[in-house]
Amino acid sequence: MFWAFLFVFVSTIMRGLNSTYQSMKRKDKAVYVTYYNSLMHAFISTPNAVFITYFICPENKNFFNDFECSNTVLNAHLWGFMFTLSYFIVDLSLIFIYQICEDEVEQ
C-alpha cells in the first residue's frame, strides 16, 4: 500500500511541477516515477538493514559474530523482508502493466 500511495503522490507532484513529465507518454511517466520509488526504497531499507544486521540482537551480538543471532528470525527481519518484497511486487506489476498497455497500443 505504501508503494502504491507513493506512486500516486509522486505522479501528482510531478504533474504540477515538471512540464517535461506532463508531455511524457503514460509508460514513460510510470518508469519515471518508479525511479523515485527505488530511491525511497534504498533510503529506507539500507539503514534498516544495517540496524538489523549489527544492532538488533542483545548483548553486543550481531549477525556475524553469533550463531544464534544469525539463525533466529526476529520480527525486524520479517518487516524488512516484507518491505522489500512489497517494493518488488509493485515495481514488477507496473512494468508488466505498462508493457501490456504499450503492446496493445502498438497493435
pLDDT tens figures, 15-66: 777 778 778 887 787 788 788 888 888 999 999 999 988 998 888 888 899 8
* Structure confidence by residue, pLDDT tens digits, 80-99: 899 999 888 888 887 787 77
What pTM, to 2 d.p., does this model score?
0.72
Residue 51 lies in a domain: yes
| Structural domain total, the chain | 1
Burial (Cβ within 10 Å: 0-12, 13-18, ≥19) of residue 33: buried
In whole angstroms, give the CA distance from residue 4 to residue 33.
11
Inside any domain, residue 12: no
Is-contact 87 3, C-beta < 8 A?
yes
Tell me if 94 sits within 8 A of 30, measured CB to CB. yes
Domain membership flag for residue 21: no
Measured between its terminal Cα atoms, the distance across the chain in Å is 33
